[in-house]
Amino acid sequence: MHPWNQGIFDSLRSRTARLPHALLLHGARGTGKLALAEHIAQFLLCEAGDPGGKPCGACDGCRWFAAGSHPDFRRLEPEALAPEPIEPEEGEPGAKRGKPSIEIKIEQVRELAAFLNVGSHRGRFRVALVHPAEDMNANAANALLKGLEEPPAGAVFLLVSHRPARLLPTIRSRCVALPVSIPPRETALQWLLGQGVKDAARWLAYAGGAPLLALDYAARADVLDRLLKQPAPATDRDQVGTLAEALQKQALDRAFSAFGLTPKYQTGVPATDKRHARAWLAFAREMGRHRLLSRHPLNPKLFSAQMLQERPET
Residue numbers of the site for Zn ion (CB under 5 A)? 46, 48, 55-56, 59, 62
User: Residue 43 Cβ, how far from Zn ion at the closest point, in Å?
Assistant: 8
Mind giving me the DSSP string for 223-241? Answer: HHHHHHHS----SSHHHHH
CB closer to Zn ion, 73 vs 191:
73
Candidates 263, 269, 248; CA nearest to 314 is 269
CB closer to Zn ion, 156 vs 205:
156
CB closer to Zn ion, 48 vs 282:
48
The Cα angle at residue 174 between residues 42 and 141, in degrees rounded to 5: 85
Residues in the chain: 314
d(CA 314, CA 287): 17
User: Residue 284 Cβ, how far from Zn ion at the closest point, in Å?
Assistant: 47
CB closer to Zn ion, 125 vs 283:
125
CB closer to Zn ion, 48 vs 168:
48
Candidates 228, 244, 314; CA nearest to 285 is 244
| Cis-peptide, bond into residue 88, ω within 30° of zero | no
User: Residue 171 Cβ, how far from Zn ion at the closest point, in Å?
Assistant: 30
d(CA 213, CA 31): 8
> Do 218 and 258 contact (CB within 8 A), yes or no?
no
User: Residue 66 Cβ, how far from Zn ion at the closest point, in Å?
Assistant: 10
User: Residue 76 Cβ, how far from Zn ion at the closest point, in Å?
Assistant: 23
